[in-house]
Structure 1
């Protein structure tokens, strides 16, 4: 085996989509940055984007207006770059821990393929794009958006002092559930806060499933997680988190007046989460845990689709 192969310089990471076009067509010199921004693992930006889209569509349905496609496009751009910036920042902080974990030891910073200085510049560049996106919204949304980085900055350190780092991630990843609403209405309201709570619980649940892949290595490295905390009760715990997420989404839907498509979306979302719980247990194989984690893109799209169709239905 060559030194290049040993260091993983031209290899896809274990949890990446090895057939993703961005990975396959990226020049060799850019591949480490594709990995650093997780562009070869698009489920991450989907999970950051979907609370924004759900909230925007929920507001449209509440206002009996058509979906705001401009907002949806802006949130897409913002989610991709800010997920990239957040992932690069997380890898920068965790580069020494990542080098001790089998699944992450070939990440660009942990393996030395990207220098810490280059990673910081990469983070700044992506944040500037995200700032441009944020400044495209109204003043209330801009002010609210400026608070979110404080949560992101704390997250990489959470696993060092709490068994609930997934909760910190939840507050960060679900934040768009408020921004989508305020971008449409100019103020916060109960449905948006309920949707935010729903997305927080959803995030804790799916990230617990994701963490099942690393339970053994995390124990050796001293990294805490809800997967380790819940142990043999992980099925029951994830089931409770997902049930709370569905309940909060249902309450948000009720508060905007419901509607056939909105309730259909909630029901489809609940069914998908129940399927995930049925396959989750303490000894879930890593491949199954990764598959279930990735399937949350579809769970979020089902809920968004219900709100989106409901807002369209009011036009006819």
Structure 2
């Protein structure tokens, strides 16, 4: 979205942020497994994770986390200076942390933060995460209830689909605002319409299928920028 109108995005930046997303998402999962290994062993779906199973010690897990963070730092140091200003400490909630790249990516390309574009884009990612992670949490409802772990799946209960629909509408609405303010062309809205339809049926699909929603949004942003 930060690319120049009519030009393909910087391939180096795409590669850096692609690798960074994998590394830092992986680091987040490592932290999660380190903190929850005593709980994971009591949950059917997670009891075979390496730390819960005892294949690795917490000390080895911290060492692996250090490698992930160092590699992530290597990527961060290749960006421009403004990215430090945008790399504040976000709250430790999944959606807020995992979507921080929306702010960081714009700053790395533009050297500034346009709140009318990046804040709705960031918000859309947070709402998307709430959709996905709430569905994900339903896999562990019974075990979480036994262990005493609170989740959106337990909190929303029978109203889960209503909440997910609300988050989905907020996600699409935020993407509409961001795309409009970024002056993206018609292809963006065509792909976003398809993504909206997909997101609305997402509660009835498998969790792993959410990657196709991301692919539709990315394709819309790319073509919406190239068409200008």
Q: TM-score, normalised by structure 2?
A: 0.95
Find the counterpart in structure 2 of residue 252 from structure 1: 178
Q: Distance in 2 between matches of 1:263 and 1:248?
A: 13
Deviation per CA, 1:157-193: give whole Å up to 9, x if none: xxxxxxxxxxx11001111111121111111111111
Structure 1: distance between partners of 2:202 and 2:22? 25
Give the RMSD, CA atoms, in angstroms: 1.4
Aligned to 1:68: 10
**Long gaps (5+) in structure 1:** 1-57, 155-167, 280-287
Cα offset, 1:64, TM superposition: 4.6
SS in 2 for 1:257: coil
CA displacement, residues 215-263 of structure 1 (integer Å, 9 cap, x when unaligned): 0100001001111111000111000000000000001111122311111
Return the alpha-carbon distance in structure 1 between the equivalents of residues 25 and 78 of structure 2: 18
Paired with 1:262 and 1:236, the residues of 2 have a C-alpha distance of: 27
Contact 1:170–1:200 (Cα < 8 Å) also in 2:
yes
Q: CA deviation at 1:276?
A: 1.1
1:295 maps onto 2:209 in alignment: yes
Aligned length: 227
1:1-316 equivalences in 2 (<5 Å): 58-60=1-3, 63-145=5-87, 147-148=88-89, 151=91, 154=92, 168-189=93-114, 190-277=116-203, 279=204, 291=206, 293-314=207-228
Instruction: Detail structure 1 runs of 4+ shifted over 4 Å in the superposition.
Output: none
The C-alpha deviation readout for 1:94-144, integer Å capped at 9, x for no partner, is 010111111111111111110011110110011000000011111111342
Q: Distance in 1 between matches of 2:26 and 2:213?
A: 22
Name stretches of at least 5 consecutive residues in structure 2 with no aligned partner.
none
Q: Do the aligned residues in 2 keep the contact of 1:178 with 1:192 (CA within 8 Å)?
A: yes
Deviation at 1:88, TM superposition (A): 1.0
Q: What TM-score do the two structures reach when normalised by structure 1?
A: 0.69
SS of 1:92 mapped into structure 2: helix
SS of match in other structure, 1:59:
coil
Contact 1:135 1:142 in 2 (8 A): no
1:181 and 1:265 mapped to 2: Cα distance? 21
- Distance between the aligned counterparts of 1:205 and 1:265, measured in 2? 19
| Aligned-residue offset at 1:265 | 2.2
Note the C-alpha offset of 1:79.
1.2
Asked whether the 8 Å contact 1:191–1:255 carries over to 2, the reply is: yes
